[in-house]
C-alpha cells in the first residue's frame, strides 16, 4: 500500500545482491554461490565475525548485544506515531505546498481565509492518510505479536523447555519438531536421521516448494545436548541478506569444521520428513536472513504522472501569471489613487478615530503589492491540483481492487490471484510498447516431460503411446511414481532384457545414469487412505532432473531412497544399493554435473550429464565416432523440435584413479579457503575421457494460450522480445511453436565471437532489414515500426554477441536494427544481459517497456523495465518479490494490458485533464471577480466553499469515474487488440488535449462569471448571494461536464454525480445558515427569485454548448477507433458478438465461472 518506500536505500543493495545470487537454475542443483559472491574467499576476520558459543547465550551475547528474536515490522509505536507519521507524510511536495499556503494564511496581513478554513484541506488529507497508516500499522503490530509469542523448544538447564520466540537468544540450542517453523537462523547440529540429514521446505522464503536437504556435521551428529554438554564456538559472518550463502566455521572438541549454506536452517522455513532437528541459534530476530530480505516493493513512477508534472509546472506558471496580474493591477490602482487613499470611503488609509491620523493596516505601496501577490496565491491555491495526487492514489487503489478480483486473472492451477505490488503505475499498463519475456516458466510451463532418448546412437522417439507409472513393490510397500511418462515400447523392451547383450548394456547404463546422476530426493507421500499403493514423489531443485528420474522409473529404474551416503534404485524389481562416493554439483561454468557411484558389482563409475557443448568437450571423441555423430544429429533434431537436451557420459574408474580422485575430493570438500574452486578443479579432473551414453530430450511444454496471447500482443502493436538462457535452436523452435516467429518472417541471425565480427554482422543485418522494408514498397510514411510490420524481420542474437555489443558503441547499431525488427529473440543470455537489453530500449526511446519473468534470473530485468511482471509459478518467489504486478500465467498479460491497462490509462488520462480543468475553472471565476473588487482579492464565494470545492463538492465523482468508467467492454477490447494503440498514441492525455481543455476552461469560466455579472449589474444583489450563485453554477457545471464524458452510467455513477450536486446545495445552505458568516441567509433570499434559477440554467447551457458541439463533430466526422468500437458495441448486431466469443476464448482460457 505504501507508495513511498522507506527502504529506498536498501533497494539498490537488494538489486545487487539479487544479481549476485542469480544462478543457472535450469539444469541442476545450485552450487558455488559463495564463490560467486566474493572472489577472494577470505578467512573471516575476528572483527567481521560473530562469535557464538554453543549453549552459552550469556557468553555469546556479552561482547556484542546481538539482536533478540523478537521482530518488529510495525513502523510506529503509540508515542512515535504522530511525529513519525507526520514526518513521513511531509515527504510529499504536495503536502509541503499545502502547509506553506496554510502558514502564509496565518500571517495577519495575509489572512484571506479564516484559520479553520485554511487548515482544513491539509488537516483532512493528513488525517485520512494517518488513519490509513495507523490501521495498517495496527495490523502489523498484531501479526508481530502473534509471531513473537509462538513457542519453541529451547535447551535450558539440560532440558528442552518451551519458550516464546521473542525470548530466544543467540547461542541457545533449539529443538524443532517435524512440520514446525524455524524461529531464527540455526546451525544444524544433529537430526533424527543418523546421517544428520534434515529436509526443509523454503516456500516461505523463496517460494520453492520442493524439499531441500541440510546436513549436520559428522562431529556433532551423535551428541545429545540434554545429556552431555556441547562446548564449541561458531565463528560466522555478519548478518546479511543472502539467503543462499553462509560462511562460518565451528570449533568443537578442538577440531575446526567449516560450515556452509547447507548447514544452516533459516527462519521461516519448515522442517519436513525429519522427526526432529537440533541446532544452535546464530542469527535472531531482525538479523535473520528472512527479515533482512523483507523489503517493500520497488517504487516506480508512472509515465503519465511524469508527463503530468510538466503540465503542473505550466499550471504553476499560470498561477504566477494570475497573481502577477492581480498585484500589478493593484499596484497601478494604488498608484493612481494615491492621493485619494486617505479619504476613499472604502479605503480609509488613515485612522481618524483616535486623535492624530495614523496609517491603519497600511504598510506602504511596495509591501501592499507583495501582500497582494501572496494573498492571491492563497486565494488561487487550488490552481495547482494538489487534491489530484491524492485522488490518483485512491483511484489506483480502486483499480487495483478490480484487477485483483478479476476472474480472468485468477490462475486455477496455482491458486493465485493477480497481485498489485506497486500502486503507482497502473496506467502504464495501457502504454506498453515492448514486452521482454523470459522463456522457461513464462512462455513455457517449466513442467518437463521426458520425450525422446538417443542411446548409443539409436533414436528412441517413435510410438510414444503407452503411458506408464507402474507400481512397484518395495519393502512391503507398493510404490507408484506420481507422474506418468510416455514410454517408447522398443526401449521398454530393451530395458527389460537385462544387461547381457551389448545394446541392452548401454540402455541399462543410460537409464542408470538417468536415475542416479541427480540430486533428487524420493519421498513417499503419506496419504491417509489405507490403499497399499503409495505415491512416490521426486523432490528436486531442477524440473529436468525430476522428469529424467520419472522417466527412469517408468523404464523400471526406480530411485526409492536417498541418504547422504547411498542411494537405492529398484532395477526391474530388484533392489540395488549404490554408494554415492562423491557428487559434483552443477555449476554454470562447467554446465554439467557428475556423480561417482560405487556399484554393487564393486566397480566405481562416474556418471556425467550436462549441456551438449560442455559434454562433447569432455567426451573422448576418438572412441565411437559414429555414435557421437549420430547423437549429434539426434540432438540437432531434438532441438529443432523445441526439446531441451542433455548428454550423458560414463567412465569407469580404476583403483588408482579412484584413490587419486578420492584424496583430492576429501581435501577439497574440507578445505576452508576456496572450497568451491577446489571442488570444481577436482570435478574437471574426473570428468574427462568419457564414453558417450546418449542424450535425453525433454519437452518444455508451452503454457496454455501462449501462441494466442503473443498473437494478440502483436496485433496490439506491442513488440515481443524473448530473452532466454536456452540455446539458439531450442529458442527458435519455441519461437515457432509460440507463434512468435512465423514463416512469413525473415530471420536475421547474429552469432559473433568478437567485437569486429559483431559490428560487421550488425551492419550487414541493418542493410538487409532496410532492403526488406524497402522492397516491400512502403508508400506510407508512418515510421519505422510500422514499416517493420509490413515485411516482418526477426532478429535472433546470442549471448556471446551481446557480450561484445552491450556497453559499447555497438549498442546504437543494435538498437537501430532491433527497432526495425518485429521480433527479437535473444538466446544464451545471462541474467545481467537481460537487464542490459531492457536498458538498451528503455534508455533510447520514450516507449514503455514491460518485463515478465518467473525466476531469480529475471529479477534484474524486472526491476529494470518500466513495468515488471512476475509469474508466480513454480520457480520461487524472487521474481514476484521484485515485480510490480504478479500473476499466474503468461496469457493473463493479454487481459492485463489490453483490458485493464487500456481502461486504467484512459481513466487516468481523463482524470488528470478533468482535474486540471475543474480546479482552473474555479480559480478563473475567482480571478474574474477580483477585477471587480479593485484587485483586493475579496471573494464572493465563501472561503468555506472554496475549501470544500475540491474536497466535497467535486471530489467523489472524478474518483468514482476514475475507478469504474469503461470506455469499451472487455469483449471488444479483446476482439480488437489494435485498440490498445490508443495508449501508444497517447490519445487520452497529450499536450494538445491539455491546451484544448484549457481553452474550454477559459470559455466556461467566462460564461459562469459573466452571466450573473450582467444579469445583476446595477442591482441590489449582495456579494454572498451572487457568490452562492457562482458556487452552485461552477459545481453543477463541472459535474455535468464530467457527466457528458462518462461512457458507462451505472447506478453508482448516477448516485455520485447527482449526489455531489445535492451535497453542494446542502453544504451551501448550511454555510449560509451560520449567523456569524457574512452570507447569513443569502441562499434563502436569492433562491426565491426566478432570476437565480434562470441564471443557473443559462450558465450551464452556455458553458457546455461549445464542448458539446466540438465533441460531437469530432466524434462523428473524425472518429477515433475507440469511438467506432463503442458505436459498434452499442448498435451492431449480436451476431458479431457471437463471433467474438469464439475468437477470444483461446486467450481467455476456460471461463472460470
Partner 1 sequence: MIGEATSSGGGGKDDSPAAVSGKKNKKPNYSRFTQQELPACKPILTPGWVITSFIVVGVVFIPIGLASLYASEHVVEIVERYDKDCIPPDYRNNSLHYIQTSETDKNCTMTINVPKLMKSPVFIYYELDNFYQNHRRYVKSRSDKQLRSKASEGKKNIAWKSDQEHKFGSDIYPKNFQNGSLIGGGKLNPSIPLSEQVDLIVWMRTAALPNFRKLYGKIEKDLQANTTITVTIENNYNTYSFGGKKKLVLSTTSWIGGKNSFLGRAYIAIGGLCLFLAVCFVFVYLLKPRPLGDPSYLSWNRNPSGQMN
CB of 710 to partner 1, least distance (A): 13
Distance CA 122, CA 108 (A): 20
The CB-of-753 to partner 1 minimum distance in angstroms stands at 34
Question: What is the rounded distance in angstroms from the CA atom of residue 374 to the CA atom of residue 651?
Answer: 88
Distance CA 762, CA 768 (A): 10
Looking at the Cβ atoms of 702 and 1026, the one nearer to partner 1 is: 1026
C-alpha to C-alpha distance for 247 and 452, rounded to whole angstroms? 42
DSSP 443-508: TEEEEEEEEEEEETTEEE-S-TTEEE---EEETTEEEEESS-EEE-HHHHHHHHTTT-SHHHHHHH
| 901 annotated as belonging to a binding site for a ligand | no
The string of DSSP letters for 943-1009 reads HHHHHHIIIIISHHHHHHHHHH--SS-HHHHHH-GGGGHHHHTT-SS-HHHHHHHHHHHHHHHHHHH
Q: Is 428 annotated as a binding residue?
A: no
- Please report how close the Cβ of residue 577 comes to partner 1 at its closest, in angstroms: 27
Q: Is 631 annotated as a binding residue?
A: no
Question: Please, what's the b/e burial string for 747-774 (b: 16 or more CB within 10 A of its CB; e: otherwise)?
Answer: ebbbbbeeeeebbebbeebbeebbebbe
CB nearer to partner 1: give 504 or 1013: 1013
Question: Which is closer to partner 1, CB of 254 or CB of 783?
Answer: 783
For partner 1, give the closer residue by CB, 447 or 755: 447
For residue 1033, the minimal CB distance to partner 1 (Å) is: 14
| DSSP conformational letter for 130 | H
- Least distance from C-beta 830 to partner 1, angstroms? 24
Q: Is 798 annotated as a binding residue?
A: no
* 985 annotated as belonging to a binding site for a ligand: no
Residue 64: DSSP 8-state: S
- Do residues 296 and 884 touch, judged by C-beta distance below 8 A? no
End-to-end CA distance of the chain: 29
Which is nearer to partner 1, 511 or 960 (by Cβ)?
A: 960
Q: Output the smallest distance, CB 250 to partner 1, in A.
A: 27
857 assigned to a ligand binding site: yes
Query: Going edge to edge, which strands form the sheet with 643-653?
Result: 458-460, 444-455, 691-702, 643-653, 604-610, 592-598, 574-584, 566-571, 557-562
Q: Which three cell numbers stand for residue 992?
A: 494538445
726 labeled part of a ligand binding site:
yes
Residue 1082 CB, shortest distance to partner 1, in Å, is 9
**Residue at grid coordinates 466540438:** 1110
Give the nearest distance from C-beta 1130 to partner 1 in angstroms: 6
C-alpha span between 453 and 1133 (Å, rounded): 54
Compare residues 210 and 519 and give the one whose CB is closer to partner 1: 210
Least Å distance between CB 117 and partner 1?
15
Residue 399 is placed in which grid cell?
483499480
* Residue of 428, 438, 488, 544 marked active site: 438
Residue 439 is assigned to a ligand binding site: yes
Distance separating alpha carbons of residues 826 and 841, to the nearest angstrom: 14
User: Residue 233 or residue 1043: which is nearer to partner 1 going by CB?
Assistant: 1043
Work out whether strand 466-468 and strand 485-487 pair parallel, antiparallel, or are unpaired: antiparallel
919 is in an annotated binding site: no
Per the annotation, the verdict on 1121 as an active-site residue is no
Of the pair 715, 757, the CB lying nearest partner 1 is at 715
Q: Give phi and psi for 270, each to the nearest 5.
A: -120, 145
828 is in an annotated binding site: yes
Q: Is 836 marked as a binding-site residue?
A: no
The secondary structure of 744-759, three-state, reads CCEEEEECCCCHHHHH
Least Å from the CB of residue 417 to partner 1: 5
- Smallest gap from residue 358 Cβ to partner 1 (A): 12
Cβ(425)–Cβ(867) under 8 Å?
A: yes
- Strands 151-156, 533-539: pairing kind: unpaired
Pick between residue 790 and residue 952 the one whose CB is nearest to partner 1: 790
296 within 8 A of 5, measured Cβ to Cβ: yes
* 952 vs 1043 by CB, closer to partner 1: 1043
Cβ pair 318, 383 in contact under 8 A:
yes
Which is nearer to partner 1, 347 or 1065 (by Cβ)? 347
User: What is each CA distance from 132 to 136, 201, 415, 574, in whole angstroms?
Assistant: 6, 35, 29, 65
Phi, psi for residue 598 in degrees, rounded to 5:
-95, 110
Residue 116 annotated as part of some ligand binding site: no
Q: How far apart are CA 350 and CA 362, in angstroms?
A: 8
What sign results for the dihedral spanned by CA atoms 1022, 1023, 1029, 1032? Answer: negative
- Kindly list the distances between the CA atom of residue 1118 and the CA atoms of 967, 1060, 1110, 1121, in Å, as whole numbers in the listed order: 17, 33, 11, 10
Beta bridge partners of 794: 747, 823
CA distance 813 to 755: 12
Q: Which is nearer to partner 1, 305 or 875 (CB)?
A: 875
| Beta strands in 273-402, from DSSP E residues, in sequence order | 276-283, 350-351, 358-359
Closest listed residue to residue 591, CA positions, set 556, 616, 560, 625 = 616
In the block, residue with C-alpha cell 456579494 = 1023
Q: Is the Cβ–Cβ distance between 67 and 52 less than 8 Å?
A: no
Tell me: is residue 834 an annotated ligand-binding position.
yes
- Minimum CB separation from partner 1 for residue 946, in Å? 15
The DSSP code for 697 is E
Binding residues for Mg(2+): 438, 440, 854, 858
Binding residues: 438-440, 545, 586, 609, 644, 724-726, 828, 834, 854, 857-858
Binding residues for ATP: 438-440, 545, 586, 609, 644, 724-726, 828, 834, 857-858
Q: Which residues are catalytic?
A: 438
Amino acid at each position: 500500500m505504501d507508495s513511498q518506500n522507506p527502504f529506498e536505500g536498501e533497494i539498490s543493495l537488494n538489486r545487487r545482491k539479487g544479481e549476485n545470487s542469480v544462478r543457472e537454475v535450469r539444469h541442476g542443483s545450485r552450487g558455488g554461490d559463495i564463490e560467486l559472491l566474493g572472489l577472494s574467499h577470505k578467512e573471516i576476520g575476528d572483527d567481521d565475525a560473530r562469535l557464538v558459543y554453543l549453549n552459552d547465550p550469556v557468553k555469546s551475547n556479552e561482547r556484542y548485544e546481538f539482536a533478540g528474536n523478537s521482530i518488529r515490522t510495525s513502523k510506529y509505536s503509540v508515542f512515535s506515531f504522530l511525529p513519525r507519521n507526520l514526518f513521513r507524510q511531509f515527504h510529499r511536495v504536495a503536502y509541503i505546498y499545502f502547509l506553506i499556503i496554510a502558514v502564509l494564511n496565518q500571517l495577519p496581513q495575509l489572512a484571506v481565509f479564516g484559520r479553520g478554513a485554511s487548515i482544513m484541506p491539509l488537516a483532512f488529507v493528513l488525517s485520512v492518510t494517518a488513519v490509513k497508516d495507523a490501521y495498517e500499522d495496527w495490523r502489523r503490530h498484531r501479526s508481530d505479536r502473534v509471531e513473537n509469542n509462538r513457542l519453541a523448544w529451547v535447551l535450558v538447564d539440560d532440558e528442552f523447555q518451551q519458550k516464546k520466540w521473542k525470548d530466544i537468544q543467540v547461542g541457545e540450542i533449539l529443538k524443532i519438531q517435524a512440520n514446525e517453523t524455524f524461529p531464527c537462523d540455526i546451525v544444524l547440529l544433529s537430526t533424527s536421521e543418523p546421517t544428520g540429514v534434515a529436509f526443509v521446505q523454503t516456500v516461505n522464503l523463496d517460494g520453492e516448494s520442493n524439499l531441500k536437504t541440510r546436513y549436520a556435521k559428522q562431529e556433532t551428529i551423535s551428541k545429545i545436548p540434554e545429556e552431555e554438554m556441547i562446548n564449541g564456538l561458531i565463528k560466522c559472518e555478519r548478518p546479511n541478506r543472502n539467503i543462499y550463502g553462509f560462511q562460518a566455521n565451528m570449533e568443537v572438541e578442538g577440531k575446526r569444521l567449516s560450515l556452509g549454506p547447507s548447514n544452516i536452517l533459516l527462519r521461516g522455513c519448515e522442517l519436513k520428513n525429519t522427526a526432529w532437528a537440533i541446532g544452535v541459534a546464530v542469527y535472531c530476530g531482525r538479523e535473520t536472513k528472512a527479515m533482512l530480505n523483507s523489503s517493500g516493493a520497488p517504487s516506480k513512477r508512472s509515465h503519465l504522472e511524469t508527463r503530468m508534472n510538466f503540465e503542473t509546472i505550466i499550471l504553476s506558471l499560470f498561477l504566477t501569471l494570475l497573481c502577477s496580474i492581480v498585484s500589478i493591477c493593484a499596484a497601478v490602482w494604488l498608484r493612481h489613487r494615491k492621493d485619494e487613499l486617505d479619504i476613499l470611503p472604502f479605503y480609509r488609509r488613515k485612522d481618524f478615530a483616535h486623535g492624530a491620523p495614523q496609517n491603519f493596516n497600511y504598510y506602504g505601496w511596495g509591501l501592499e503589492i507583495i501582500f497582494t501577490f501572496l494573498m492571491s496565491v492563497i486565494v488561487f491555491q487550488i490552481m495547482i491540483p494538489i487534491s489530484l495526487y491524492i485522488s490518483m492514489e485512491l483511484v489506483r487503489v480502486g483499480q487495483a481492487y478490480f484487477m485483483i478480483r478479476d476472474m480472468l486473472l485468477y490462475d486455477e492451477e496455482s491458486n493465485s490471484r493477480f497481485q498489485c505490488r506497486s500502486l503507482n503505475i497502473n496506467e502504464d499498463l495501457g502504454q506498453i510498447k515492448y514486452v521482454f519475456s523470459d522463456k522457461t516458466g513464462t512462455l513455457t510451463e517449466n513442467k518437463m516431460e521426458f520425450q525422446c532418448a538417443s542411446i548409443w546412437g539409436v533414436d528412441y522417439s517413435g510410438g510414444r503411446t503407452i503411458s506408464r507409472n507402474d507400481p512397484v513393490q518395495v519393502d512391503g510397500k507398493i510404490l507408484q511414481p506420481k507422474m506418468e511418462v510416455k514410454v517408447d515400447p522398443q526401449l521398454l523392451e530393451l530395458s527389460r532384457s537385462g544387461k547381457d547383450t551389448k545394446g541392452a548394456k548401454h540402455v541399462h547404463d543410460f537409464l542408470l545414469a538417468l536415475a542416479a546422476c541427480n540430486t533428487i530426493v524420493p519421498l513417499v507421500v503419506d496419504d491417509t487412505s489405507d490403499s497399499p499403493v503409495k505415491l512416490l514423489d521426486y523432490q528436486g531443485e531442477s524440473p529436468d532432473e525430476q522428469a529424467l528420474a520419472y522417466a527412469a522409473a517408468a523404464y523400471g529404474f526406480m530411485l526409492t531412497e536417498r541418504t547422504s551416503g547411498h542411494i537405492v534404485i529398484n532395477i526391474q524389481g530388484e533392489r540395488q544399493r549404490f554408494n554415492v562416493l562423491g557428487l559434483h554439483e552443477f555449476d554454470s561454468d562447467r554446465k554439467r554435473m557428475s556423480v561417482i557411484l560405487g556399484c554393487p558389482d564393486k566397480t566405481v563409475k562416474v556418471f556425467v550429464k550436462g549441456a551438449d557443448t560442455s559434454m562433447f568437450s569432455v567426451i573422448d571423441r576418438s572412441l565411437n565416432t559414429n555414435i557421437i555423430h549420430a547423437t549429434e544429429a539426434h540432438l540437432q533434431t531434438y532441438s529443432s523440435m523445441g526439446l531441451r537436451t542433455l548428454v550423458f557420459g560414463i567412465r569407469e574408474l580404476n583403483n588408482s584413479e579412484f584413490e587419486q580422485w578420492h584424496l583430492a575430493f576429501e581435501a577439497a570438500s574440507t578445505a576452508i579457503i576456496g572450497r568451491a574452486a577446489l571442488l570444481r578443479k577436482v570435478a574437471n579432473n574426473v570428468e574427462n575421457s568419457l564414453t558417450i551414453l546418449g542424450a535425453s530430450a525433454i519437452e518444455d511444454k508451452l503454457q496454455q494460450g501462449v501462441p494466442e496471447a503473443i498473437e494478440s500482443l502483436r496485433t496490439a502493436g506491442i513488440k515481443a522480445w524473448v530473452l532466454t538462457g536456452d540455446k539458439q535452436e531450442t529458442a527458435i523452435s519455441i519461437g515457432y511453436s509460440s507463434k512468435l516467429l512465423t514463416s512469413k518472417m525473415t530471420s536475421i541471425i547474429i552469432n559473433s565471437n568478437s567485437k569486429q565480427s559483431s559490428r560487421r554482422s550488425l551492419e550487414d543485418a541493418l542493410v538487409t532489414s532496410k532492403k526488406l522494408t524497402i522492397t516491400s514498397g512502403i508508400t506510407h510514411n508512418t515510421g519505422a515500426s510500422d514499416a517493420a510490420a509490413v515485411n516482418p524481420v526477426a532478429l535472433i542474437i546470442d549471448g556471446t554477441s551481446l557480450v561484445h555489443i552491450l556497453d559499447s558503441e555497438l549498442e546504437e547499431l543494435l538498437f537501430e536494427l532491433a527497432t526495425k525488427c518485429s521480433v527479437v529473440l535473444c538466446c544464451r543470455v545471462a541474467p545481467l544481459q537481460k537487464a542490459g537489453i531492457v536498458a538498451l530500449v528503455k534508455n533510447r526511446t520514450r516507449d514503455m517497456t514491460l518485463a515478465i519473468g518467473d525466476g531469480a534470473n529475471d529479477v534484474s530485468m524486472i526491476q529494470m523495465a518500466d513495468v515488471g511482471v512476475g509469474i508466480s509459478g513454480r520457480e520461487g518467489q524472487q521474481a514476484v518479490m521484485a515485480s510490480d504486478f504478479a500473476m499466474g500465467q503468461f496469457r493473463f498479460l493479454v487481459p492485463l494490458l489490453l483490458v485493464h491497462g487500456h481502461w486504467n490509462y484512459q481513466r487516468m488520462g481523463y482524470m488528470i485533464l478533468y482535474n486540471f480543468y475543474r480546479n482552473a475553472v474555479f480559480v478563473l471565476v475567482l480571478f474574474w471577480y477580483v477585477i471587480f473588487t479593485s484587485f483586493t482579492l475579496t471573494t464572493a464565494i465563501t472561503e468555506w466553499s472554496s475549501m470544500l470545492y475540491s474536497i466535497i463538492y467535486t471530489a467523489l465523482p472524478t474518483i468514482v469515474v476514475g475507478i469504474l468508467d469503461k470506455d469499451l467492454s472487455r469483449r471488444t477490447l479483446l476482439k480488437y487488440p489494435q485498440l490498445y494503440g490508443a495508449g501508444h498514441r497517447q490519445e487520452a492525455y497529450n499536450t494538445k488535449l491539455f491546451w484544448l481543455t484549457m481553452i474550454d476552461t477559459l470559455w466556461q469560466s467566462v460564461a459562469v462569471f459573466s452571466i450573473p455579472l450582467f444579469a445583476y449589474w446595477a442591482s441590489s444583489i449582495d456579494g454572498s448571494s451572487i457568490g452562492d450563485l457562482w458556487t452552485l453554477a461552477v459545481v453543477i457545471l463541472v459535474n455535468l461536464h464530467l457527466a457528458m464524458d462518462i461512457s458507462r452510467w451505472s447506478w453508482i455513477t448516477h448516485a455520485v454525480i447527482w449526489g455531489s450536486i445535492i451535497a453542494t446545495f446542502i453544504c451551501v445552505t448550511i454555510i449560509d445558515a451560520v449567523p456569524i458568516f457574512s452570507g447569513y441567509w443569502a441562499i434563502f433570499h436569492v433562491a426565491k427569485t426566478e432570476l437565480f434559477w434562470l441564471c443557473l440554467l443559462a450558465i450551464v447551457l452556455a458553458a457546455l454548448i461549445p464542448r458539446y458541439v466540438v465533441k460531437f463533430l469530432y466524434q462523428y466526422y473524425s472518429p477515433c477507433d475507440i469511438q467506432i468500437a463503442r458505436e459498434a458495441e452499442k448498435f451492431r448486431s449480436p451476431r458479431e458478438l457471437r463471433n467474438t466469443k469464439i475468437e477470444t476464448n483461446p486467450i481467455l482460457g476456460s471461463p472460470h465461472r
